[in-house]
Each structure stands twice: as C-alpha cells, then as structure tokens.
C-alpha cells in the first residue's frame, strides 16, 4: 500500500482495492463501512476525553486555577476516571417517565453528530462522504439533535427538563438561520456546496482573507450562532444549573448522561471543523503572495496537521467565549438573534453578492 502524508488518495484507493481482492464486492463495501464506523467511534471517544480535559484546563486558566491535577500526570487521567464511573453507574429511569422515548432520546443526540462528522474533509483524500451538497447535508443532519433534546425533556416527566427542552428547541431553531446564512455568504464566492470544492477554491488564499469585510462579518456571526446552537455558554439556557438544575438531562444518569455530555463536545468539534473548512481553507496551508520561501515552508507541513491546528484554534476561541461572558436571559438571547444577527446576516449576504458580482474579492 502507498502511504503519503500529503495526499491520502492513493492510500484509500489501495485499501479499497485490497478489500475487493480478498472479498466479494458486496462484502467489501460492508467491511469498508464497518472499518470506517469503528475508526469514527474510536475517534469520537478520544475526542470527547481530550476536549473535556482541555476545557477544564482552559476554564482553570481563565479563572486563575490549576484545574484537575491529582489523577494522572497534570490530571490527564481525570476524564478517564470520570467515564469509568459513568459506565458503571446505574442508569436510573423515573417512575412516570416514558421509558422507550427516555432511552431513545440519548441515542438520537449521538446519531446526529456521527452523521455530520462523516462529511468533514480531514485532509486531501481523507474524506468519507464527499457530497455535492455537503454543506446542506451537514446543516440538515446536525439539526436532528434537537429532536433528541425535545424527547428527553418531554419523556422525563419533569417540569425542569421540559422547560430546558423547550428553551433548547427555540434556541436551536432560531440560531440555525444565522448559521445557514453565514455559510451561504461564503458559498456565493465558491459557487458550490461541495466541501472538497470549497477547500480547493482556497488554494490561493483562505476566504476569511480573500472574501473582504463580508467574509469577516460572516465568520463572527457563524461563531456566535454556532455557539448558541450547541447550547454552550453564554447561551446555555437549556441547562442553566442555577435555574432549572440540569435542564433536559436532569433525570439522566450513567452512560445515557455520558451520551448527552459527549454529543456536546462532538458538536463543538464539528462547528470548528466546518468553520475551518469554509473560512480558513480546511487543510490548505497558509500562503502569503509571492513569498516563495515562506510558502514552501508552509507546504512542508502535512495537510492533516494544518487542519487540526486550525480546528484547535477555533475550539480555543469558542471555549474562551464561554468562560468570558455571563449567561444571557432567554429574552436577551432571542433578541440577539431576531433583532440583530438575522438582519445583519441578510444585509451581509446582499453585500457579499455585490462584492462577488463585481469581483471585489481578492
């Protein structure tokens, strides 16, 4: 098998050919899907463990604390200890809960990010689903998660859970408009919904720089709206501990609670990955004009490392956002979307159309 850290196309083709040689065509497809599924499950498990630890440390940094330090070196084994505790903890179900929907909700919230992450282009040739409607697919499947949240709140037969679920439903439906319009602003420049085409269109520069002022405005709106859509602070009204205990997952324990917890961090990664792909060139390196020496050095860094470096930067930005601002009230949160972000987004979309039509972008 050929392996190239700069282009995974030959490697993926070699694995596919090898499976077709030793198995029947139908079995080769099924085996390939199973391998990809196992890889993604392992990746998501490691992602959840890593991001929980990183956020604890980032939170501690902003609050001038040390964060977890006792279990493992610098507390690195703390999240492993937590997940072991959750796995072995008894999954309780309240007496008057709708048991079927109560159990189903925890799986639905995990299905949505699993479907969405499959469309993320990690590097050149390392892309599971390369649809010609990639952006539309990601926004569509990522909105399935709200169904699980609404089911969790209603089936728990708990007034606090129901209030949290209704808040989350209103929040996600509202801010999804701004997320979609901010992405549509860049799609005007690329002329394609296909994620690989969006990355390729940035080979001579990232859209955050080439797209002029409307691209910067679109990125700012995207980060704010995506944070709100994922129910993270300062928009965590759906699970406001000081008001409604833990919101829609108040009655959950054990592994089902872990699913809700994990889905938040997988969604966080997907937001950063889509932001990286659309605004920051995905796995494309940073190039500065005709500076050949500098550009050659940037090309030396593998695309996979470029992608994860950009994702890490956006993850830090979102975490910084959470631990800096106080929680908004529900009326403030909805006012921000309907009176400010949405009109600004529509004006910015029109401005980007003018910029694109006249060729004023770089």
Percent of the chain with pLDDT over 70: 99
What is the structure's pLDDT at 168?
84
Question: Who has greater pLDDT, 222 or 230?
Answer: 222
Q: 282: closest CA among 223, 209, 199?
A: 199
> Which of 23, 54, 88 delimits the end of a domain?
88
Structure tokens at 191: 């002329």
User: According to the model, what pLDDT value does residue 313 have?
Assistant: 94
Same domain, yes or no: 118 and 140: yes
Asked if residue 120 and residue 48 are part of one domain, the reply reads: no
pLDDT for 274 equals 94
Residue after which a domain boundary falls, among 88, 103, 137? 88
pLDDT at 184: 92
Give the mean model confidence (pLDDT) for residues 239-257: 78
Joined together, the tokens standing for residue 132 give: 């010609």
Tell me: pLDDT of 11 over 80.
Answer: yes
Q: Do 156 and 246 belong to one domain?
A: yes
pTM of the model: 0.90
Q: How does residue 235 score in pLDDT terms, banded at 50, 70 and 90? A: confident
Task: Give 235-248 as a DSSP string.
Answer: S-GGG-HHHHTTGG
Cα angle value 115/238/216 (rounded, 5°): 65
Together in a domain, 178 and 61: no
pLDDT band at residue 359 under the 50/70/90 scheme: confident
* Pairwise pLDDT comparison (27 vs 295), residue with the higher score: 27
Beta-carbon contacts of 322 under 8 Å, excluding residues fewer than 6 positions away, are: 227, 232, 233, 234
Tell whether 34 and 50 lie within a shared domain: yes
Element (H, E) at 325: none
pLDDT the model gives residue 169? 84
> Over 60: is that where the pLDDT of 164 sits?
yes
Both tokens assigned to 273: 């990955």
pLDDT value of residue 17: 87
168 and 146 part of one domain: yes
Domain count, the chain: 2
Q: What average pLDDT is seen over the chain?
A: 87
Per the model's pLDDT, the better-predicted residue between 252 and 348 turns out to be 348
Chain position carrying tokens 């098998």: 1
Check pLDDT > 80 for residue 75.
Answer: yes
Q: If you average pLDDT over residues 85-103, what whole number do you get?
A: 84
pLDDT value at 239 more than 80: no
Please tell me the predicted confidence (pLDDT) of residue 360.
76
CA distances from 83 to 49, 53, 106 (A): 8, 12, 16
32 and 128 inside one domain:
no
The fraction of the chain above a pLDDT of 90, given in percent, is 28
Q: Give the model's confidence band at 2: pLDDT under 50 very low, under 70 low, under 90 confident, else very high.
A: low
Residue-range definition of the domain harbouring residue 148: 94-358
* 3 has a pLDDT exceeding 80: no
Q: Are residues 222 and 262 in the same domain?
A: yes
Do 166 and 21 fall into the same domain?
A: no
Same domain, 84 and 109: no
> Of 25, 56, 88, which residue sits at a domain end?
88
Residue 169 and residue 116 share a domain: yes
Query: Are 202 and 276 part of one and the same domain?
Result: yes
- Say which residues have a Cβ less than 8 Å from residue 52's Cβ, sequence separation at least 6: 79, 82, 261, 265
């Amino acid at each position: 098998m050929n392996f190239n850290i700069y282009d995974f196309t030959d490697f993926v083709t070699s694995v596919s050919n090898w499976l077709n040689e030793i198995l029947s065509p139908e079995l080769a497809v099924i085996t390939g899907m199973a391998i990809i599924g196992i890889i993604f499950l392992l990746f998501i498990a490691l992602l959840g463990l890593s991001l929980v630890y990183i956020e604890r440390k980032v939170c501690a940094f902003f609050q001038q604390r040390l964060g977890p330090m006792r279990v493992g070196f610098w507390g690195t084994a703390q999240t492993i200890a937590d997940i072991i505790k959750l796995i072995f903890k008894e999954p309780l179900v309240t007496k008057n809960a709708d048991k079927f929907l109560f159990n189903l909700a925890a799986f639905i919230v995990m299905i949505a990010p699993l479907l969405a992450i499959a469309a993320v282009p990690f590097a050149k040739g390392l892309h599971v689903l390369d649809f010609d409607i990639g952006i539309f697919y990601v926004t569509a499947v990522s909105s399935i998660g709200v169904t699980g949240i609404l089911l969790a709140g209603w089936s728990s037969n708990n007034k606090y859970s129901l209030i949290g679920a209704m808040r989350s439903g209103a929040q996600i439906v509202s801010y999804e408009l701004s997320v979609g319009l901010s992405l549509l602003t860049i799609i005007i420049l690329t002329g394609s919904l296909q994620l690989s085409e969006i990355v390729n269109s940035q080979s001579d520069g990232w859209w955050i720089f080439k797209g002029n002022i409307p691209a910067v405005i679109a990125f700012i709106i995207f980060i704010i709206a995506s944070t709100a859509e994922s129910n993270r602070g300062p928009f965590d009204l759906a699970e406001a501990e000081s008001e409604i205990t833990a919101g829609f997952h108040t009655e959950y324990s054990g592994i089902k609670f872990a699913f809700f917890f994990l889905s938040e961090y997988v969604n966080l990664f997907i937001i950063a990955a889509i932001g990286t792909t659309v605004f920051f060139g995905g796995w494309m390196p940073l190039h500065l004009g005709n500076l050949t020496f500098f550009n050659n050095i940037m090309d030396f860094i593998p695309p996979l490392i470029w992608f994860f470096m950009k994702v890490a930067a956006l993850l830090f930005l979102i975490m910084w956002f959470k631990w800096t601002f106080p929680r908004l009230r529900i009326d403030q949160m909805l006012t921000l979307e309907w009176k400010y972000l949405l009109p600004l987004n529509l004006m910015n979309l029109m401005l980007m159309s003018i910029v694109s039509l006249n060729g004023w972008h770089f």
